[in-house]
Amino acid sequence: MRHLKIINGRIITPYRVLHNATLLVSAGRIAAISQGDIDAPEAFVIDAAGDYVAPGFIDIHVHGGGDHDFMDGTEEAFHAIAAIHARHGTTSMTPTTLSCEPVDLLATLETYERICGQKSPGATFLGMHLEGPYFAMNQRGAQDPRYIRNPDVAEYRMLTTRFPSIRRWSAAPELPGALDFADWLRSKNILPAWAHTDALYNEILVAFERGYTHATHLYSAMQGVTRKGAARYAGAIEAAFLIDEMTVEIIADGIHLPPPLLQLVCKLKGPGRTALITDAMRGAGMPPGESILGGRHNGLAVIIEDGVAKLPDGSAFAGSVATADRLVRNMIQLAGQPLCDAVRMMTSTPAAIMGVGDRKGSLIPGMDADIVLFDDQISIRCTIVEGNVVYTKEKEHDAQR
Ligand SMILES: [Zn+2]
């Protein structure tokens, strides 16, 4: 299909919503956007019938879905996760690992390198995100304590040299060697993100100056204001708010953070510095019940109930089962944010954080044709990745008949 034309849409551009508008796709890129019709007689036409036409959703922290986890290390898992999240509007994602056996990490990274040139049945990949293992034991959450350790120079130099697909790495910046680690990542053009940390305000300030410019799942596995004796100290959360240039991401499943905290983050950081993430594990898109966090053969047993994954004793959440459409809907319906701001937090902001804002995350001529159509309830009707329709609701209904 060379040309694709979407008509009768409410097109969300970076600046406004165009009603009854037309968008033309040519050779995988956005060719034109117009308030009226665009003359393209040979184009395949999709009638949006008044639905929103938005940039495709970008999930920069996701572990799995559809009963697969990237830590399974198989091509099947990568393709299945890309497909299930595309049904919920995601057009690109950053596959995320966990603290694990080095051999399992290698398997996942090698699989990524292998599938990179292949055609994806859904979302495309923006490079790997390593979550751990350089974390504060005290703030490990659902990360497996057997693998948590301080930064290991030989290990991270080997991994980042061997696997250029690593684009982001989450670590606790107060650990011995963690600042040198950030210097190394920056020299490789990899985003250092701070996470699972005991750092207080001052340590985050120093870390920011050394390159830790992004907060991984704000509020989860980190401290706010703490008291030692009579004195009170500002925590990592306050640092994220006070440092204007710090970007943050939030698990907006409506469970990890209650609506007032979603609102607070939007109020203090704004939609240009806040990304929505699913942090989804394999249970996304699956019914409630027993599941596994991490690789299928040696992950942690968890339970999915009440729309979230939990440790079996209920002591901590163990990742979400959210999808991107649910995050956008929550920001509108639970947190009272304007639709365009909610969309921005799921599109151009995460694109900018991952350094791909020049080609993804906005509907502007010349950008990749990553597009999603949805109604007022953010129910996804069609997902287009680089000009290819990878999901349509109508087709699914036809198949079910
Ligand atoms: Zn995660």
229-247 per-position pLDDT tens digit: 999 999 999 999 999 999 9
What is the distance in A from the centroid of ligand 1 to the CA of 63? 6
What is the extent of the structural domain holding 374?
3-54+364-400
What is the distance in A from the centroid of ligand 1 to the CA of 142? 9
317 and 336 share a domain? Answer: yes
What is the distance in A from the centroid of ligand 1 to the CA of 73? 16
283 and 199 share a domain? Answer: yes
195 and 258 share a domain? Answer: yes
What is the distance in A from the centroid of ligand 1 to the CA of 88? 19
Q: Determine the Cα–Cα distance for residues 386 and 367; give it in Å rounded to an integer.
A: 9
Residues in the chain: 401
pLDDT tens per residue, range 132-189: 999 999 999 888 899 999 999 999 999 999 999 999 999 999 999 999 999 999 999 9
Nearest Cα neighbor of 97 from 342, 373, 349, 294 is 294
Q: What is the pLDDT of residue 326?
A: 98
23 and 137 share a domain? Answer: no
Would 358 be classed as within a structural domain?
no
pLDDT tens per residue, range 115-125: 988 888 899 99
CATH of the domain at 393: 2.30.40.10
What is the distance in A from the centroid of ligand 1 to the CA of 69? 11
Q: What is the pLDDT of residue 401?
A: 43
Mean pLDDT for the stretch of residues 78-101:
97
What is the distance in A from the centroid of ligand 1 to the CA of 61? 6
- Give the least confident one: 24-28, 259-263, 271-275, 317-321: 317-321
- This prediction's pTM: 0.97
Q: What is the pLDDT of residue 234?
A: 98
CATH of the domain at 341: 3.20.20.140
127 and 193 share a domain? Answer: yes
195 and 219 share a domain? Answer: yes
What is the distance in A from the centroid of ligand 1 to the CA of 249? 11
211 and 330 share a domain? Answer: yes
61 and 147 share a domain? Answer: yes
What is the distance in A from the centroid of ligand 1 to the CA of 127? 15
Q: Among the three residues 353, 373, 391, which one is the final residue of a domain in this structure?
A: 353
pLDDT tens per residue, range 9-32: 999 999 899 999 999 999 999 999
37 and 153 share a domain? Answer: no
46 and 69 share a domain? Answer: no
Would 359 be classed as within a structural domain?
no
Please say if the pLDDT value at position 400 is more than 50: no
pLDDT tens per residue, range 297-313: 888 899 999 999 998 99
Contact between 163 and 109 under an 8 Å Cβ cutoff? The reply is: yes
Contact between 266 and 44 under an 8 Å Cβ cutoff? The reply is: no
